[in-house]
Amino acid sequence: MKAIILAESYAEKESMDEINLVAKQISEIPEINEIIVVTNQNHVNRFDEWASNLKCTKQISILSDGSLLPEDSLGEVGEIYFAICNKEIKEDILVVSGECYKPSSLEDACKFFTEKNHDTVCIQTIQSKMPSRFIPVLDDDNILMSIERKQSIVPSDIIMSDICFFKAETLPMFDRYMYEGSNRYIYEGNTMNAIGSFIQWLCGEKDVYAYM
Read off the pLDDT of residues 151-183 as tens digits, 9 standing for 90 and up.
Answer: 888 877 888 888 999 999 999 999 888 776 554
Higher pLDDT, 113 or 148: 113
Nearest-angstrom CA–CA distance, 209 and 132:
22
Q: Evaluate whether 33 touches 59 at the Cβ level (below 8 Å).
A: yes
Taken in order 21, 25, 27, 32, is the CA torsion positive or negative?
Answer: negative
Q: Which of 7, 71, 15 lies closest to 40 in space, CA to CA?
A: 7
- pTM (whole model) above 0.85: yes
- pLDDT at 206 > cutoff 70: yes
Please compute Rg for the chain using Cα positions: 16
In this prediction, residue 61 has a pLDDT band, given cuts at 50, 70 and 90, of very high
Average pLDDT along the chain = 86
pLDDT tens-digit readout, 14-32: 577 888 888 999 999 999 9
Decide: helix, strand or coil at residue 203.
Answer: helix
